Amino acid sequence: MSPKAEKKNNTRSRIISYVINNQNTSKVEISKNLNMSMPTVLSNVNELIGSGVLVETGEYASTGGRKAKRIGINPGYRYALGIMITANHVGMALVNMGYEIEKQQRVRMKFSPEASYCVELSSLVKKFLADMAEPDKLLGIGISIPGIISREQQLVVKSHALRIENYSLSFLEQAFSCPVYFENDANAAMMAEDIHQYKDAIYLSLNNTLGGAFCIEGKLFAGQNQKAGEFGHMILVPGGRQCYCGKKGCADAYCAASALTGDNYENLDQFMEVLFRGEADAAEKWSEYLDHLAILISNLRMAYDMDIILGGEVGGYLADYMLPLGEKVMEYNGFDRDIRYLKNCSYRKEASAVGAAKHFFNELIKNI
């Protein structure tokens, strides 16, 4: 690509990303906030409208002159499918160009390393996409997996949750007729957020297992061995509860959603319903959970001094409990005067699927 073409691509990418993250905007706002000349904005926006990537969504109120047009992304320009694989479930989300979920489904399906699992998953996806009006607009399938992934070798290096090691992803990739992208589940959940908003942040994925991810300067940080963000296996209580990884006292045993559900509840939703009813046992367990979570949050804040996004299934509920959680965090952290660094997630159960799907939009925007 010539330097001139590369510069044009970069300009368009910045405009599209800005429009998506700001939903409705104007050419004047794009020019001002991206520090671009108005002729550059006019030329590129008009071309993007002409190609169907952007659309005019209305007009702003007149301030005396010609009414400014509202500019938005065309959500139906392209789509991507996100799949979230867990030990016992598969979650699917069809995501449009505006990062909105058009359709989603969660199916109970036990993971197996056998080829038959890939065949069953392929069949499930075909049924899920059967009513898609324009299948040629599907960019690809992003798959999130709880474990350490080597994309170079197309391997799941290790997954405690799925009980696999050096598992080849080639069978899964070959099960589909479109491009496939694999990502660690917590990294994918981080990607679902607007990372341009946070720059430096930690994502705590509070699902049935506890994961995490780093975003530094707006980019995922994987670490030397793709293990950055494995907060679930930091020791929170020495000699404490047994963790599924084989150690005792891991944060996962205290702060994952499974710490709340245990053997008494089918899922987190059921536990939260009991908590809402005010039953004493659930209230005691919730208070204990928040206490352990507060210790983990305080440790992460002290170590990394970043915003902390509370995600996953539990994170979706925590928006209503930020005050009691904040009080507990402040008991352990004597350096911060408030908890403004604690952020609520944009997506709940479907976060990893959305983030994996967004990979394809990011690639499209880079080269549009």
Band of pLDDT at residue 186, cut at 50, 70 and 90: very high
The reply to whether CATH 1.10.10.10 applies to domain 3-73 is yes
- Of the chain, the percentage scoring pLDDT greater than 90 comes to 76
Average pLDDT over every residue of 348-356: 91
Query: Which pLDDT score, from 0 to 100, does residue 142 have?
Result: 98
Query: Which pLDDT score, from 0 to 100, does residue 122 have?
Result: 97
**Residue 94 pLDDT > 90, yes or no?**
yes
CATH number of 79-190+351-366: 3.30.420.40
Mean pLDDT (the chain, rounded): 92
Which residues, in sequence order, are bridge partners of residue 144?
84, 183
Query: Which pLDDT score, from 0 to 100, does residue 348 have?
Result: 80
Average pLDDT over every residue of 7-25: 89
CB environment 285-323: b (16+ within 10 A), e (fewer): bbeebbbbbbbbbbbbbeeeebbbbbbbbbbbbbeebee
Residue 351, Cβ density class (10 Å: 0-12 exposed, 13-18 middle, ≥19 buried): buried
Fold of domain 199-344: Nucleotidyltransferase; domain 5 (3.30.420)
Closest by Cα among 44, 43, 25 to 33:
25
Average pLDDT over every residue of 248-269: 93
Band of pLDDT at residue 188, cut at 50, 70 and 90: very high
Residue of 237 and 338 predicted with greater confidence: 237
Domains 3-73 and 79-190+351-366 share a fold: no
**Residue 219 pLDDT > 80, yes or no?**
yes
Residue of 326 and 334 predicted with greater confidence: 326
Domain boundaries, the chain: 3-73, 79-190+351-366, 199-344
User: What is the reported pTM?
Assistant: 0.89
Q: 30-55, pLDDT tens digit by residue?
A: 999 999 999 999 999 999 999 999 99
**Residue 65 pLDDT > 70, yes or no?**
no
**Residue 267 pLDDT > 80, yes or no?**
yes
Query: Which pLDDT score, from 0 to 100, does residue 69 have?
Result: 85
Query: Which pLDDT score, from 0 to 100, does residue 61 have?
Result: 64
Query: Which pLDDT score, from 0 to 100, does residue 5 have?
Result: 76
